[in-house]
Chains A and B, each alone.
Chain A
Amino acid sequence: AQSVSQHNHHVILSEAASLELGCNYSYGGTVNLFWYVQYPGQHLQLLLKYFSGDPLVKGIKGFEAEFIKSKFSFNLRKPSVQWSDTAEYFCAVILRGSSNTGKLIFGQGTTLQVKP
């Protein structure tokens, strides 16, 4: 079965530190990739997405992610985190193909705590 793995369950950083959250998926076919963020008390919001083209994608709030096809990875990065980045981050994959419409497969999530 297809799955998505997020290696870090809980990350604690100080403000201005750099962030990298790992995400790997297990599927040999073509995928579309997403990172979502859930701030405390808010709904899931799309941070960034990758469909095709440049494997380095930029999202909102200074986040970026790099798709490495050979490693089945889509890691999220931010050069300098802020206290307001404290949230839960979810990596998600949707498999290409008409039989997979609407079916996001999520990782378990990573809780990021940024200390002021």
Chain B
Amino acid sequence: KAGVTQTPRYLIKTRGQQVTLSCSPISGHRSVSWYQQTPGQGLQFLFEYFSETQRNKGNFPGRFSGRQFSNSRSEMNVSTLELGDSALYLCASSLGGWQTNQPQHFGDGTRLSIL
């Protein structure tokens, strides 16, 4: 079974631009969560999608948004990029449903650098 796939692996952008990251979950997984990982703040939850609906959201500004498609693939968008958005963005998938005891499986991440 293929794991969680994130594309692209690396991105370089400049301040003010916007960016879209993609995540394909494990086949059969319907829940997709996104996290931001930085040396200073560690791993922080961005949002979670299930059946094309955002079910949960972390404490990030509205510049961070996402969506999920009918095949469970998810995209994350960041608009008006700031230097502080430089981070590793991780996507994780799980079976979903309303249970919180299903482990999340992580992708390799997208390394975003803002110049």
- On A, residues with C-beta under 8 Å from B are 32, 34, 36, 42-46, 49, 51, 90, 92, 94-109
Contact = CB atoms under 8 A, between A and B. Distances in A.
Contacts of A46: 103-105
Interface of B: 3-4, 31-33, 35, 42-45, 48-50, 55-56, 58, 90, 92, 94, 96, 98-101, 103-109
A105 to B, nearest CB: 7
Contacts of A105: 45
Contact of B106 (A43, A100, A107): A43
A114 B72 CA distance: 39
B100 A96 contact: yes
A103 B48 contact: yes
B interface, over-half SS: strand
Contact of A32 (B35, B100, B105): B100
Nearest to B103: A46
Given A49-B103, A109-B42, 10 more contacts: A49-B101, A94-B101, A98-B98, A101-B31, A102-B45, A102-B48, A102-B49, A102-B50, A102-B104, A104-B33
B87 to A, nearest CB: 14
Nearest to B106: A44
